[in-house]
Chains A and B, each alone.
Chain A
Amino acid sequence: MSLLRTPQSGRSGIRSLATWYRSGGLSAIVFALPLVLTFLYFSWSPIVRGLVLSFQKNNLVTTPEWVGLANFSYVLTDPQLPQATVNTLYFALLALIFGFPVPLFLAVFISELRSAGWLYNVISYLPAVVPPVAAILLWKFFYDPSGAGVFNSILGWFGLGPFAWLNSPDLAMPAIVLEATWAGAGATSIIYLAALTGVRTELYEAAELDGAGIWKRVWHVTLPQIRGIILIMMLLQLIGTFQVFTEPFLFTGGGPDNATTTILLLIYRYAFINGDFGAATALSVLLAGVLCVLSVVYHLLTRRWSIT
């Protein structure tokens, strides 16, 4: 640290350099260097390279050709983009309305249990342990469109259905959100649970003395106390849902009739079906830009409510 101070003379400069060295400054750098280099190479160089690619016509075999903004104008005028955008927003909206409250509710519910909380913990976290591909194949069984499918049989007992599920352009996206909620809720509720342990018990006691019931305690104590985490998780979820890929890719391949084609699926198709890496990276860059803006706007909007 002393190195940062402006040295008054050459002599004191050397002395402070010596102090810096003796106090372990060099070894700190030596220790940090591999990490920084690894990070630069594996994390930042692909990002920079992606940025470069988005301005090139490049199939990664022939010599790349600079095309300026042609890739961007191509992806922005692609007739598939509006639908992919709408689908992605629709997924994010459904996930926000139906998926977001679930883990919160789970966490509050589990934390209120006096015994066997661990059991519920394990049960709610279990879906996160199942590999996504296996889980999705399992859910494909559940969504079997014939009357003999798992969900259709169950609903059949009540005289409902059979529903086409993934085979219906209207139901496919909600069906995907349902699976995604099931798969993701456990991991998120663990984070909420951790936050809940940080809420001071005196607050609950005080509320109880004031005659607050369980719902009032949750509303007036629990939620305000963990609002910081809630806001962060909401932002993370928004970013995550904008990048949804695995579920539509494995469930429907983007169908039926592009009803579940998301932006990331479109990027995937540009790159791996069309071999058009310029268009793929251009759309990735645009998506990254939108997410950055979204994060900043979100931060400004929610600053008033956040703890820090």
Chain B
Amino acid sequence: MTRVSRWGARLGLAGLVLAAAGCADGTTPSTDAGGAVDEKAPVTITIGDRPTPDKPNDIAAFERNIKEFMDAHPNITVKSTETKWDAQTFQAQVAGGSLPTVMNISFTEPANMIPNKQLPDITDELKLVDLTKDLNPDVLKIVQDGDGRIYGVPIDVFSVGLAYNRALFQQAGLDPDKPPTTWDEVRQYARQITEKTGKAGYAQLTKDNTGGWMLTTMTYSMGGSVQSQDGTKSTFDDAPAKKALQLLKDMRWSDNTMGSNFLYNQEEIRQDFAAGKIGMVLQAPDAYDMCVKNFGMKPADYGHGALPQDGGPHGTLTGGSIKMINPKASTNEIVAALKWIKSQEFDKYTNEQLAVQNAKDSIADRGFVGRPGITPLSQETYDRYNTWREPYNNVPVEQFEGYVESTRTLKLLPEPANKAQEVYALLDPVVQQVLTKKDADIDKLLTDAASKIDARLAR
């Protein structure tokens, strides 16, 4: 049983913590490192999120974009890496100082990174490249400090809804065009799906911080909150979160409509959903891409409804992606990086030709056009952009109707402001216990979790 051969791995982990330390050596970034801006000076930037080698078409498109950008900006050299945001490794990358100049990160990060000086102040540079006016001021709040200075560029916004399998709905005798809109309906539909098809009527994310993430979403939909406005205290030890957990408990133990797997992360649950093993699951609409493209789900089977509510429309959890810039970047690098972000993420919204070309490219790369989302820009700009691209839509938009409707009616509630990922991590076991232990005491679980989380928030 002794694992001599794997010692290395284990000791390596401890070493990794330390090695990461060795590399970074406590470098303190400064916002004014580069001095005055020189837009003509040669500058090199590194772009993260390069597609992995298993997606050759995406890589080709990525490389082509880089080449076109470099042709248009001869003084800027663009390099790329596969580095991408992952709740499990991001802190290590920040600590290791191995971040590219530009990469996508989650909405949950800036709240802690701004006070930690892990993001540069890019307010002036944003004005210089003329990006500020396009951005939706409500979304922009995510990347601003108390004085309104800006530390990142929001590019993508999502809100959580309910993904459901239309084929299973049909088999269970449910109308695939009418997804449930209340939690009572979800419970009833789940019962019907399991009864008629033998599949899990409803499944829940529970692992790698997603358990806490979805408990937060459910709590919001029941009218509750998870953290105080200022982020110093937890607020979930009350009726809405209890109701959410009680519902899960009932579906799991009384109805037995949640299948047999209760350890799911995003990828695993999408895999089972795409394989037709799950009737309904809380997801953002981007789940469509992975389910169809990676796991071979039939587009006709995919449906997306609003986040179910309990006792009146309360709202849904929103999140999204931000382009972050390395805190060590010089002013010239920041300007070059913002030009890159503008050309890749924003020009298409205001330039019809580019919007259409972009849609055509997506289709050629077996990507998707028309999947509903929420705009980081003004609704007007976004609607105009969608009109340009409508002829190229290859996503069955009508199957997202319930969701699209909800983006206009449901309030968008942000994720916890302080240490969201840590809060989620500490809530994972709560959800897991409710689903794997029949006599789980919900009141005690929430009280215990609240005291653990308050200790973390105070640290």
- Contact surface of A with B, Cβ cutoff 8 Å: 45-47, 49-50, 53, 58-64, 74, 78-80, 95-96, 98-100, 102-103, 128, 132, 144-147, 162, 164, 166-169, 180-181, 183-185, 187-188, 191, 233-234, 236-237, 240-241, 243-246, 252-258, 264, 267-269, 271-277, 280-281, 284, 288
Contacts and interface: CB of A to CB of B under 8 A. Distances in A.
Interface in B1-22: 1-7, 9-11, 13-15, 17-22
B254 interface: no
Contacts of B262: 145, 167, 256
A264 to B, nearest CB: 6
Nearest to B327: A61
Nearest to A83: B429
A102 B92 contact: no
A8 to B, nearest CB: 47
Given A256-B433, A257-B437, A145 B11 contact: no
Interface stretch (B41-49, B185-193, B204-212, B379-387): B204-212
B248 to A, nearest CB: 13
Nearest to B113: A61
A244 B13 CA distance: 11
Q: Is the interface of B mostly helix, strand, loop or mixed?
A: helix
B351 interface: no
B412 interface: no
Interface size, B (range): 35 or more
B17 to A, nearest CB: 5
Contacts, number: 209
Contact of B206 (A53, A245, A246, A255): A255
A243 B11 contact: yes
Interface in B403-459: 419, 421-422, 425, 428-430, 432-433, 435-437, 448, 451-452, 455-456, 459
B13 A45 contact: no
Contacts of A280: 17
B118 A61 contact: yes
Interface string B80-91: 000000011101
B6 A267 contact: no
B265 interface: yes
A168 to B, nearest CB: 6
Contacts of A187: 2-5
Interface in B22-59: 22, 24, 26-29
Interface string B338-372: 00000000000000000000000000000000000
